[in-house]
């Protein structure tokens, strides 16, 4: 088993990465000093696949386990669902020391994390991510949230887990579009921080797509390492953490124009290609870097262009983004593969140009 440390002062914790870890979760919780009740929050799909092995591992160590089910889907990341979970936690006698295990993708991680952060002012949280996106991104860094009206992810907290258990064997049951969705964040992490990892992905992408266990393990480990390093240097999102938003300025606008029908990874993929074109036009990134990024995104099964009809709406959405200052959005750009800069100095005309011309 490989471990990534997230070094956040008093909140230091570890991400365990390997295949077949679920069966050991109970032992780790017991040796960390937990006993008595444990609550699993999950959705029915994930529960059918992995609920039993996780529950059994906890029961084997003497925990009395309750599983709280939430239907799959972003719309469950709501105050209403959180309210229902508080009630169910109360009904099953969950106490201040009762750990909550969030078993599932980013929706369950964000919602379960939000509930753990707020129930009785905070109970211990263990993230057990089962999608590629949640193993490499959402379970790391402590952002927990629900959506509320137009406020996507904006009702939340920074709340770090006790432990993250990333069992890479669970990725074998992921539908291909979910794998691609997570790959967008994997490619993003390589391109902002680690040229060598980018070369690794170019070489091994087909093995990732065929769910080769060894390569998946390496991909999750290295991407988790990059995110852990960045958040450890900037826990509360005041500076360096910005670079994790590579591809997200335009990506968020696309997501919102699509009414969140398009997956986050798909939208970010288009945003990454556009940001590489902007970087190239501003004489930062060379043609080779720009073209290689586009190529690997295509190979991952991700889109690279905004659908024609949507371009005007995407530009409008960017103007209304809260992060926009005087009509200019904050962009993360590339100097080269593995190296970034953050700037407010991208003209709206250039954004329009790269969204309109495919190259
Ligand atoms: N907190 C953060 O820092 C952060 C970062 C990025 C994204 N997010 C959030 O993450 C969410 C998206 O997460 P996601 O992409 O994991 O999607 P998701 O949580 O909606 O999961 C996608 C689907 O995959 C299914 N599933 C999960 N694991 C499976 C498995 N092993 N096998 C088969 N099916 C499985 C689920 O039932 C669900 O239907 C969004 O709400 C987003 O806002 C949070
Ligand atoms: Zn993202």
Identify the pLDDT of residue 114. Answer: 98
Model confidence, pTM: 0.95
Q: Measured in angstroms, how far is the CA atom of residue 92 from the centroid of ligand 2?
A: 35
Q: Which ligand is nearest to the CA of 192?
A: 2
Q: Is the pLDDT of residue 273 over 70?
A: yes
Phi, psi of 66 (to 5 degrees): -120, 135
What confidence tens digit (pLDDT) does each residue in 328-356 have?
788 999 999 999 999 999 998 999 999 88
Range with the poorest average pLDDT among 6-10, 29-33, 87-91, 276-280: 6-10
Best residue for ligand 1 mutational test, from 105, 132, 189, 262 (most atoms within 8 Å of Cβ): 105
Q: Is the pLDDT of residue 326 over 70?
A: no
Identify the pLDDT of residue 311. Answer: 85
Q: Give the three-class secondary structure for 330.
A: coil
Q: Determine the straight-line distance between the first and last CA of the chain, rounded to whole angstroms.
A: 43
215 conformational bin, left if phi > 0, alpha if psi -120 to 50, beta if neither: alpha
Identify the pLDDT of residue 213. Answer: 95
Atom of ligand 1 nearest to the CA of 263: 15
Identify the pLDDT of residue 26. Answer: 98
Q: What is the enclosing helix (H) or strand (E) of 67?
A: strand 64-69
Q: Which ligand is nearest to the CA of 139?
A: 1
Identify the pLDDT of residue 329. Answer: 83
∠254-256-258 over CA atoms, to 5°?
A: 70
Q: Is the pLDDT of residue 183 over 90?
A: yes
| CA–centroid distance for 188 within its chain | 11
Sign of the CA dihedral with 277 first, then 281, 285, and 289 last = positive
The partner residues of 125 in beta bridges, in order of sequence, read 100
Considering only CA atoms, which of 177, 195, 139, 150 is closest in space to residue 15?
139
Query: Which comes out higher in pLDDT, residue 129 or 235?
Result: 129
Q: Measured in angstroms, how far is the CA atom of residue 268 from the centroid of ligand 2?
A: 7
Best residue for ligand 1 mutational test, from 47, 82, 127, 131 (most atoms within 8 Å of Cβ): 131
Q: Is the pLDDT of residue 288 over 80?
A: yes
Is residue 255 within 6 Å of ligand 1 at its C-beta?
Answer: no
Rounded Cα distance, 110 and 116, in Å? 10
Identify the pLDDT of residue 316. Answer: 86
Identify the pLDDT of residue 325. Answer: 61
């Amino acid at each position: 088993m490989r471990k990534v440390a997230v070094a956040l002062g008093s909140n230091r914790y570890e991400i365990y990465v390997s295949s077949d870890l679920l069966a050991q979760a109970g032992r780790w919780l017991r040796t960390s000093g937990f006993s008595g009740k444990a609550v699993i929050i999950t959705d029915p799909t994930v529960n059918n696949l992995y609920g039993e092995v996780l529950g059994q591992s906890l029961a084997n160590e003497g925990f009395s386990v309750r599983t709280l089910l939430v239907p799959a889907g972003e719309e469950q990341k709501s105050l209403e669902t959180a309210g229902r979970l508080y009630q169910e936690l109360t009904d099953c006698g969950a106490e201040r020391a009762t750990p909550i295990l969030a078993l599932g993708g980013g929706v369950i991680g964000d919602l379960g994390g939000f509930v753990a952060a707020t129930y009785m002012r905070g109970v211990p949280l263990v993230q057990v991510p089962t999608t590629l996106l949640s193993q490499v991104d959402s379970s790391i860094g402590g952002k927990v949230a629900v959506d509320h009206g137009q406020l996507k992810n904006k009702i939340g907290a920074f709340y770090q887990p006790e432990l993250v258990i990333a069992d890479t064997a669970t990725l074998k049951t992921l539908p291909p579009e979910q794998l691609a969705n997570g790959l967008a964040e994997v490619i993003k992490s390589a391109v902002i921080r680690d040229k060598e990892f980018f070369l690794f992905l170019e070489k091994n992408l087909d093995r990732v797509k065929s769910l080769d266990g060894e390569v998946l393990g390496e991909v999750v480990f290295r991407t988790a390492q990059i995110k852990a390093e960045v958040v450890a240097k900037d826990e509360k999102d005041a500076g360096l953490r910005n670079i994790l938003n590579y591809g997200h300025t335009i990506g968020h606008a696309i997501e919102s124009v699509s009414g969140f029908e398009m997956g986050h990874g798909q939208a970010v993929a288009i945003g990454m290609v556009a940001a590489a074109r902007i970087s190239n036009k501003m004489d930062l990134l060379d043609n080779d870097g720009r073209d290689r990024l586009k190529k690997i995104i295509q190979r991952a099964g991700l889109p690279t262009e905004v659908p024609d009809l949507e371009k005007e709406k995407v530009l409008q959405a960017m103007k209304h983004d809260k992060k926009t200052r005087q009509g200019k959005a904050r962009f993360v750009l590339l100097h080269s593969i593995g190296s970034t800069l953050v700037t407010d100095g991208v003209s709206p005309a250039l954004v329009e140009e790269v969204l309109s011309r495919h190259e």
